[in-house]
Each structure stands twice: as C-alpha cells, then as structure tokens.
Amino acid sequence: MDSASLRQLAQSWETLASKSLPEGKTLEAIATETLDGNRIDALYWERPPLSTDELAATKAAPVDHRLRAIGNSAVTQNAHLLRGLKGGVTSLELAHLADLDKGFQLEQRLHDVQLSIVSISLQAEHFYAEATQELKQLWAQRKLDNDNVSAAFNADPVGTLTRSGFLLNPIEKELHTLGQFALQEKQRSPNCSSVMVNIATQHNAGASDVQELSAAIATAKLYLDAMLNAGMKANDAIKSIVFQVACDADHLLSVVKLRVLHTLWQHLAQGFGATHLQLNLVVETSTRMLSAQTPWVNHLRNVSAASAALMAGANTVIVQPHDFLDEQFIDEQHLVSERVARNTSIILEQECALHKINDPMAGAYAVESMCQDLLDNTWSQLQTLETEGGFIKALQSGHWQRAVTNMRTKRIQRLLDEQSIAVGVNRFQQKDGYSVGATSGNNDVKKSPVSAALSIEPLVPQRDAAAFEEQG
C-alpha cells in the first residue's frame, strides 16, 4: 500500500474514532503523557524509524518460575520453599538472614531441597563471595558436581550501594573484585551466572522508566568493563550477567520498557565486540504498586505484570504474594496467597503459552512509537550522566536520589489529582482495609558501618498507595 492510500486509511480511522468520543472531545485532547514526558496518543497510523528491532528469535524454553524465600528464620524459610517446590516453582531466591554471625544457613534453609534439579539465586549483597562459597560447600557435602548444578551468585556492588547506602571498599576495588570473581566462576562453575544488574530497587523506590533503564545500562557498562579488564572474553562476560527488573500493572508500558531494555543491551553488547546478544532477564512483580486497602486487586496487578514479563521475553518470573506488603503478610491467608502467586506465572505459561510467541507486540505502531520515544529519552539521560561524571558520581552527590524522589512525588500527585486511577487507592476504596505497620525485614535501611569506604543516601522501596492508607 502506497503512502497516499495509507494516509487516506488513517484519515478514515481518525474520523471513526472521533465519532466515538463525547461531544467536544478530540483525539488530541485525550492524549496523555508518561512521567518521563513521552506522549501516548489515542491513535497511531505511522510506524517510527525501525530502532527497536524484534527481540532475537529463540526457541521457546520453559519459563523459570522463581520463589523468593519468605520468613524470619532458616526453619520458616525452608518450610516456605518446600511448599513452593511442591507447588511447581523451579528456582529459589535467597537473601541473607539478619544474623550473619551464623553464616547464610544454607544447609538449614535448603534442607530436603534437591539441588541437582533446582537452581538457586543468591542475594547476599556485600557478602556474595562468602554466600557463593557456602553454597559450593553444600554442593560438595551432597556430592554434587559443579557441572551438574545451576545457580546465580549475583555480584552487584552498584545495586548493593543503592539498596544499603554503603560499600565496604572503594568502588574501584569492588569492581576489580567483581571482574576477578566473574572470571573465576566462569572457569569453575560453567552453568552459573556470577553478576547481576538489579534495578528493581530503582523501580520500587519510585524511579521512572527512563531512570530504570539508564541505571541498568550505566551499571552494566561498569560491570562489563570490569570483567573485560579481568581478562574475560566479551561473549563470556555477556553470558555472565543477569538483569533483574520490576514490572507494575501498566501492561503496555511494562512491555515497552522491557523491549527497550533488550534493544539497549544489544547495542551495548555489540559495542563491546560481543556476538552473543541474548538478554538474561529476571522479572519480579512490583511492590510499589501494592495496596493494603484491596489486597485481592493486587492479584490482578500481578497478573498484568507477569503477563507483560512473558510477552517481553523474560526467562524467569517472580510473583509477589498479593497480601505481602512491606515485608509482612497483612492477613491470615498467606497459604492461599502463596499458592495464588506461584500459580500465576505457571498458568500464564502452561495455559496461555505466552512464552511461545516471540515478541508478539512487534510491529504495532503504538508500541513501536512508544519504544522509540523511550529509547530516545534514555539515550539522552545516559549522555547527560556521562557528561556529568557518571552514575556513581550522581549517586554520591545525591542528585540521582533526588531525581527518583521527584518522580515518585509526581506519580503520587497524579493519583491525588485522579489523573491516574488505581482501584482501591484513589477510587473504590475499601473503608475496612488492612493497615500496615513499619517496614521490616530485608527492606530495612541499613546503617553504614564505621569501616565503610563509600556511603550514600540509599534508595528505599515505598508503596505509592501508602499515601492513601490509614496507618494502624
């Protein structure tokens, strides 16, 4: 079809769409903007320049359904993990327990877990090397060969800095150690990944899509530099990195964000001379979108987020229980919510087969246009970061944290003005909703030790709905 015919067709669409609007409304008037200022039109009839290529076609692989361990002790976490494994999860995520004097207690937490068939993702922050060693000792104790086990060790000093607010060594030394660690584990543990770019903290603290993507690429570049400086080949370095991202209930924008991350990653990998361009992507459902007023609506939000993850090529999906807010269950139905959460991604895979369609939104003019806008804005943000001294300097100065806080304030103001609608938050509130106490558990703000080599203001996860809830 030639351009004149396309224009004629577009005009007919516009005429029909305009007739469906209330009197006095126009398509131009109902256009909206994202927090980053990207325009969302009501009607798209042109495809932008091809800059967000289709996701690289891959053979449909089973989805990794990951369970994040919940519980204040090794015993309670072990019970939680075993329930999940019986229910169909395929990998486990373990953060450090509060009492580090006892180590990570992996033997107790993974009691009766068949480590030959279950992959483990460690979130040990400052102590990733120690946690890795403890896991390897457990493998040896159970007579498992490194070639027959799978794990993610997740060295992530920049993510650790943003979450905890400090590093025990200067960033240069931390990056050097990361490079050496990745090289060593590539040789010793061929089926394991060693490095993670975890930007879920950025999201849950209030960051916009542009800020999340900018943080992801700026961090990944630091890690790739460190691994190549340690002597790794580009393809090996690329394969050693896992991205962990959070998606919220905005299905369309979540898909757009993940598609753009794929494009940015491919560009970065090619710049380092890699030919392996696949993105190893873990997606968790957002905690900032959860509400205590209508917890079952959180389940619908989780479905939307998990669907977006699978449609945008996620390898691994983590679904948070709908009633688990601020590191605590807000009701007595946690066994039900655990089962519902783990079944969500399983159903989307087994009954909806979302993982079998490669990049299903590719070619949609609206999606391509929004991807183009987000891509352009992210490149602009990355260039600004670079000219101003880099991501670490932005964190040290507090400029980055203030920008994230401003975005969260802007998002909440939209809810207050009802420019954005969230069921149970600013519309259809449940008067007898649950109240949530102070944040506890792994999201506690950690005090910087006296021996810290680098300290910043940490990014603290906060729920948008908290501004609308009565505290108990």
Q: Tens digit of pLDDT for each residue in 239-278?
A: 999 999 999 999 999 999 999 999 999 999 999 999 988 9
Give 155-196 pLDDT, tens digit per residue: 999 999 999 999 999 999 999 999 999 999 999 998 999 999
Neighbours of 62 (CB within 10 A): 10
- In this prediction, residue 451 has a pLDDT band, given cuts at 50, 70 and 90, of confident
- In this prediction, residue 214 has a pLDDT band, given cuts at 50, 70 and 90, of very high
Residue 2 lies in a domain: no
Backbone Cα Rg of the chain: 22
Q: What is the pLDDT of residue 102?
A: 67
Give 328-368 pLDDT, tens digit per residue: 999 999 999 999 999 999 999 999 988 888 888 888 889 99
Residue 1 lies in a domain: no
Residue 16 lies in a domain: no
Residue 358 burial (C-beta neighbours within 10 Å; 0-12, 13-18, 19+): middle
Q: Which residue has the higher pLDDT, 425 or 243?
A: 243
- In this prediction, residue 472 has a pLDDT band, given cuts at 50, 70 and 90, of very low
Mean pLDDT throughout 95-112? 82
Query: In the structure encoding, which two tokens stand for residue 54, read together?
Result: 């289709």
Mean pLDDT throughout 52-65? 71
DSSP 127: G
Q: Which DSSP string corresponds to 233-298?
A: -HHHHHHHEEEEEEE-S-HHHHHHHHHHHHHHHHHHHHHTT-S-----EEEEE-STT--SS-HHHH
CATH code, domain carrying 434 = 3.20.20.240
d(CA 269, CA 393): 24
Strands (E), 49-131: 64-68, 91-95, 119-123
Residue 280 lies in a domain: yes
Q: Which helix (H) or strand (E) holds 357?
A: none
Q: Which amino acid is located at 471 in the chain?
A: Q
CA angle 406, 284, 51 (to 5 degrees): 70
% of residues, the chain, pLDDT over 70: 91
Residue 405 has pLDDT above 60, yes or no: yes
In terms of residue numbers, what domain contains 284? Answer: 34-472
Domain total of the chain = 1
Residue 21 lies in a domain: no
Residue 91 lies in a domain: yes
* Threshold 0.85, pTM exceeds: yes
Cβ atoms of 129 and 160 closer than 8 Å: no
430 Cβ contact list (under 8 Å, min separation 6) = 293, 294, 424
Residue 54 has pLDDT above 80, yes or no: no
60 Cβ contact list (under 8 Å, min separation 6) = 355, 356, 358
Residue 269 lies in a domain: yes
Q: Which helix (H) or strand (E) holds 39?
A: strand 39-40
Query: In the structure encoding, which two tokens stand for residue 91, read together?
Result: 């990998």
Residue 15 lies in a domain: no
